[in-house]
Structure 1
Amino acid sequence: MSLPKIEAPKLPKELPEIKLPYEELESEESFHTGIISDCTIDNQSGYKVAFDKIIFRNVTFTRISMKEIELTDVIFDRCDLSNVDFGEATIHRTEFRNCKIIGMDLTGATVRNVLFHACLADYATFRMANFKQINFQDCSLLSADFYESTLQKTHFEACQLDRAQFTGTKLAGIDISSCEFTSLGVSMDDLRGCIISRGQASVFANLFGLVLKE
């Protein structure tokens, strides 16, 4: 199956270095066109803070709560966003590359044209999020929570999905055949139409108490 076509971030060839203010970010504040690199952003909160045409490179985010954050044409490169609260975010044409996003909270987020590549995303929360044109590539998603999410044109390639929660999430047309897991939180109805490998069939047989006959 071909991967979903994803629009890449639209960024100018050259971006100036910029810095965030040390004081608390103001709600509905916006930042445009620049690189933020090699720093720690600590103890910040804000509502509807917007980042447009921004590259975050080697940035650590700690004690961050930015409800309804807006990310457009953004790249996170080798960043640590563990446990950030981006609940109800709007994210478009954004890439997370080689990032640590353990426990990231994207509950209720709207996510479009986003790439997660080689990310450590264990225990990340995507509950009731709406995904369209998304690629998860070479990511660890152990115990990640996709409860009652909407997945459209979403692909999981070579990901670790053990104990991931998909209850209430329709997986019709979703390809997880290259992923590894020994258990998933999913119902038979949710799984209908999901694309799996022959080797994974035994996992689901055990999950639903079925017996495979040689």
Structure 2
Amino acid sequence: MIAHQTLTAAQLEPYETYSECTIAATSLPGKVSDVTLDNCTLTGIWSQSEWLDCTFQNLNLANQDWNQAVLYRCHFQGCNLLGTNFSNGVWKTVRLTDCRADYANWSGAQLTACAAQTTSLREAYFRDVTFKRGFVATQCDLDQASFWESPLAGVDLAASTFEQLEVTPEAKYLRGLVLNAFQAATVLSLFGVRLK
């Protein structure tokens, strides 16, 4: 374990754990693999960076720019992702657990087999997102999250909560979306359907 150091992303070694370190983005898009970052501070712009098999624990990434970042088989655990910009990125088998991701932005991203558990995604943007092999949200707060113009086949929100959800009220976008009965009433109201 490496602790209390100041490093650049290029200095991160695979199969190492970094604790309470300060890690700066490099000027060129960087590639990082097989590291665990625990309670570290990430500085700079992380757009177009590439992360493979990484674990992010207790990081504060609020309002950072991760536009066009590529993440494969990564896990965010207990992270603050408030307002983080993940737009136009590529995520494959990425998990969010116990995170705060209110106002985070995944617009234009491609998410493959991703999941969120016990995570707050209030007013998060999933606009024009391509979901492949599903997206499962379990015990998440999705109130006022936006899935506008995102085809939702394989997206499972049934074990999460929301009072309002923004979706495109057309069959081609909603086909394959999994909701519970209470949530279905909310979505049906977008079509002018009233349930008694």
User: Normalising by the residue count of structure 1, what TM-score does the alignment of the two structures yield?
Assistant: 0.82
State which of 165, 169, 179 in structure 1 corresponds to 2:160.
179
Q: Is the 8 A contact 1:65 1:86 kept in 2?
A: yes
Q: Which runs of 4+ in 1 moved over 6 A?
A: none
Aligned pairs (5 A) from 1:23-102? 25=8, 29=10, 31-33=12-14, 34-41=16-23, 44=25, 46-61=27-42, 64-102=44-82
Q: Is the 8 A contact 1:47 1:67 kept in 2?
A: no
Q: Relative contact order, CA 8 A, sep 6+: which one is greater?
A: 1
Any idea what SS the aligned residue of 2:40 has? Answer: strand
The sequence identity of aligned pairs, in percent, is 28
Give yes or no for the alignment of 1:203 onto 2:186. Answer: yes
Structure 2 gap segments, 5+ residues each: none
User: Normalising by the residue count of structure 2, what TM-score does the alignment of the two structures yield?
Assistant: 0.89
RMSD: 1.9
Distance of 1:159 and 1:136 partners within structure 2? 7
Q: Give the aligned length.
A: 191
Residue in 2 that maps onto 1:17: 2
Q: Is the 8 A contact 1:30 1:50 kept in 2?
A: no
Q: Is the 8 A contact 1:52 1:71 kept in 2?
A: yes
Q: CA deviation at 1:172?
A: 1.5
Residue identity in the other structure for 1:109 = G
Residue in 2 that maps onto 1:113: 93
Question: Which whole-Å deviations, capped at 9, do the CAs of 1:36-69 have from their partners, x for residues lacking one?
Answer: 2124457x5633112111111012335x312211
Q: Is the 8 A contact 1:46 1:67 kept in 2?
A: no
